[in-house]
Structure 1
C-alpha cells in the first residue's frame, strides 16, 4: 500500500485555475480522472488524513504513485477534456454507468439503400436512427406489427432480401400487405424511403398529421364509393391509434425531455431515466453504478450527463430538457456542454411542481425498486452468500464461517426512550422470527446501552443453556437458546470494546465481536487501534451492511413507536376521569397533543363528552398547573388558611 505523501505535489505548485487531473499507478496506467474548478483545492483534499477519506478514495490514493494535471480556460473545456480522457483511458476508479440489462431499440437503418426496420441492441452506430429503448423486445415487435399496416417498410435481413430479389418472389409479409416489397420492384427506392421517413416522423411524435391524413383519405374514398380502399384506410387508422395507446401520454405540452432519478446507499446507486418525446414516454432505461468516492446526488447527475450524452453516436439524443433531482455544482458548464452536443439550447433543471414533478416521483420510485431488486438478487444468490460468509471469516480471522450473525443497534434522542434491537441472519438471510427488541433503562449513551443489551442477551442465553429441559412445552427452542458465531454492533471502537468486555465478564469466549462504523464503513475489532478495511466490491462488506441496516431499521421503528405512545398518552393519562374514549376524541378533534395544549378552555370544553371541569383538568395536566388555578367559572375563592 503506497503512502500518498510520497507523491504529493509540493506546496504552491498546484494552480488554482480550472483543469483536469489524472492519478497513475506505478506502471503508469491512468486509474482515475477528475475535473475541478480549482485544481489546488480539489487535489489537496486527496492528501488529507487517510482515514478521513471515503474507502474507495483511500484505495485509489494508496494504489496511485503519481498525479498530473492540465489546466484549461473554462469549466466547459474541463468537462470536455475529462470526458475525452475517461473514454481514452477507461480508469478503473471512475464511476461507470453499466446497464442492469441490455435494452432493445427499434432501429431504422437509414444508411442502406432500402432502409430496414428492426430490433437492435448494443452500441449505437452512425447512419441508424433509434427509437426507445424498450423494456422488452416483444414490445417492439408488437408495436411494429401494428404499424406495418400503415408503413409497409422492409423488415427482412440482407440475406432474405437478396434471395427474394433473385427469385423475383416476395416473402409472406409482401403478400399480406405488411411490406411494400421493394425486393421485387413493387416500389422504387425513393418511394420506399418516403414510407420509412413517414414512419420515423410518426415515431418521433408527428402523429396528428398522419392520423388526420388517414382520416381525410378514408372519408374521401368513402364519398367516392371506393369502399374497399376506405375499409383498408379505416383499419390502418385503427392500427395507428392502437399503437399510440401503448405509449402513455405523461405531459400535454409536447415536452422533449429526459427525466432522471436516483436511489442510492453508501456503496451503490440505481439510476432510472424516462425518455419523453412529444409528451409521451418513448423509452425507459436503468443502470446500477458503484460509487467510487463520496458522491452527492449532484455528482451523480454530473457523471450521468457526461457519460450518457457524451458519445458522438448518441449526441443527437440529447433532449431539450434534462430533469434531475438535484443540480450539480457545475450546472452552467454542463448545460453549455450539452447545448454544444445538441446544437441548440439545453435546459438542466429540477422540476418543482406540476406534471413534471409527478413524473419525477414516478421515475424515483422505479429507481428505488431497481436498487431493491439488485440487492435482492445478490442476497438470494447462494454462491454470493457463501462467498460473503467466507470473506468475513477470513477478514476477522474466524475459525469457521459465521453461519449465525446477530447485530445490535441503539436508538435514542438525547438519552430519552432508549431502545435496542437485535436482528439475526442465518446463512446470510434474515430470520425475522428471531428478532428481539429491548427497552434500555439506566443507560443514556450508546456505549452503556450496548453493554446493557449484550449483558441481558447473553445472560439469558447462559441461563437457558444451563436450565433443564432446554425446550419449551411446544418443542420450540427458547428465545435465546442459540448463540451466534459473530456479534456485530453498529458503531466503532468504543462500542466494540464495550461489547467484548461484557462477553469476557460473562465468560463467553466462543463468540466473535466486530463493529461496523457507518461513516467510512470500517470494520472494528476489540482492542485494535486500526480498523479492517474490506474491498468495496466485497460480498462480505455488503452482507455486514445489510445486517447493520436491518438492525438500524428495526431499532428506529421501535423507538418511534415508544416515543409516539409517550407523547400522545403520558400527559393525558394523569387526568382523573378522562378515559380512553375521551382521550381519543380529544386527539381526533385537535390532531395532536401540541395543538390540544394550545387550545383554550372553551374550545376543549366544546368537544363532545367534555365538560368545563374535565377541560380544566386537561389543561392543568398539559401545562403542569395546579387544578385550582384553572377554575372554569372563576368562583373558587376559598381563603388561604392562616400561617
Structure 2
C-alpha cells in the first residue's frame, strides 16, 4: 500500500499536480516550527520553493529566454526580509534569503539591491521587483531594465519570492523569541559582573573618519539587549578633531550635555569601543557634567577579538567567549560599528555632492541649497576661494568646507 501510494504521488507530481507533496511538506514545516527546529523548517521551505519553481520553469523558459533576478521582500516596522531568485535561461539558478534591520524600507531595499550588485554579483538582463521602488531611477543607475509584472508566470514567481521572504522572517522572529531567556541570562551576568542592581538601557558609541580626518560618530541604544533603532543617532564632529580620543570626548559630551538640558532618559550603562584610555576619556566628560553613569570599554586582544571588559574603575574583567553576555555585547559592538561606518559607505555609494558636503559640520539643508545654487557642481566649489565661500555661508562653516574640499 505504501509503495502504491508513493507511486501515485510521483505520477501525480510529474503530471504537474504538486498538492499532495506540498501539503506534506507544509505539514512538516509547521511541525518543525512548533518543535523550535527552525533550521529544519527553513530547509523544508527551500525544498518547497524548488518544487514550485520546477513546475513553473518550463513555462518560464518558453516565455522568457533571458537572464533576470527577482527581488521579493517582507517588512515590519524595523525589519526587512529579502528573497532573491536568480533565473538564468528560464531556469532557477539560485535562491537566497537576507535579513536586515531597517529604519526606512524603501531606502534600505534600494541600497540593498545596489550593494548586491556592487558585491560582484553579475548583472542580469532584467530585474523584477515589487512596485515599492522607483524602477526608472534604479534602471538608470544600474543601466539595465527594471520592471514590475502585473500578471503571468513571472508575477507568480515574484509572489513566491515575497512568500519566501515572509517565511524567512517568521523563522527569524521565532529564533529571536527563543533567545529571550538567553538575554535574561546575559543581563544577570552583566549585573553580577558590574555589581549593580539594574541594567536595562545601554548606549554604545563608536567613531569613524574619512580621508584620515573628518570624524563622524554613531550611537546605538539597546533596552534589555533589544535595539531601539528610532533612538540611534549620528554625529558630525568638529573639524578640529584629529584622533579617536578627541572624537570620543566630543560625542559623549554632546550626547549627555543635551540629556541634561532636555531631560531625556539616561542609560544604565555606556559602552565605548576600546580599553583604559577610552574609558578614562568618557569618564572625564561624565564627571565634568556631574553624571553618575556606569561606563565599560570593550577591549580587543592581539587577534582583534573582544575578550575583556574595562570597568569605570579601570579594572580588567575577562569575558568568557561562550557566555550569553559575550554574545550580546558582541552584537552591540558590531551594531554600533556598522551603523557608524555605514554613514561613510552611504555617502560613497551615493557619490552625490549633497551627500559629500553633508559631512561638513554646520552645513544643513538650507546652506547646502545655497551652495548648490551658487556653485552648481563639486568641481566649481573646490575651485572657489575661501572668500567666495564666505560670501554664501558664515565664516566658520565656510572655513570647515574649504578645508574639507581640499582633502577630497
Q: TM-score, length-normalised on structure 1?
A: 0.34
Q: Which has the higher helix share?
A: 2
Q: TM-score, length-normalised on structure 2?
A: 0.48
